[in-house]
Amino acid sequence: MNQNPGDGGWPTIRYFNKGTGYGGKGYKQKEDEELDAELGKEENMRSYVVEKSGASPCDVVWGNDCSAMELKYISKWVGPGVSRSKSKVTDAFNEWSRQLQGQTVKNFAQNRQRVTLLSRLLNSFDHPEL
């Protein structure tokens, strides 16, 4: 399997998860500067790790450290005007968890974030501020 190390210059940054398989995928730059300068910024590196790993620092109760996409997903389950159903959240959690167990997972990181957020919602479902 050719991973093309050095393709596009050095350093070569790759990430690996169930969605990418053993070959992984290369980092796509978002700024118009050298790669080491771009990822040398702590916020850029954090964003990259969160985006590609499926990790999430999001606090589902208070909305701290959540992306706009995460807040929208949380609102789908417990937002204003939404009929809350712990069983529906549990069903969604189980379904996304099951999908993550497959051999190859499309949109691994995004699905992993869904599972994380749903788990946090279930753990905080009875919190008065949720």
52-67 confidence digits (pLDDT tens): 888 899 999 999 999 9
74 near 121, Cβ under 8 Å?
A: yes
| Span 68-82, pLDDT tens digits | 999 999 999 999 999
Q: Is the pLDDT of residue 7 over 80?
A: no
Backbone angles phi, psi at 48, to 5 degrees: -60, -45
Q: What is the pTM of this model?
A: 0.76
In the predicted model, what is the mean pLDDT of the chain?
Answer: 88
* Long-range contacts from 101-107, C-beta under 8 angstroms, 24+ separation: 102/18, 103/18, 104/18, 104/19, 104/21, 105/17, 105/18, 105/19, 106/19, 107/19
Q: Which residue has the tokens 């501020």?
A: 129
Instruction: Verify cis geometry, omega within 30 degrees of 0, for the bond prior to 11.
Output: yes
Q: Which residue has the higher pLDDT, 74 or 101?
A: 74
Mean pLDDT of 72-94: 95
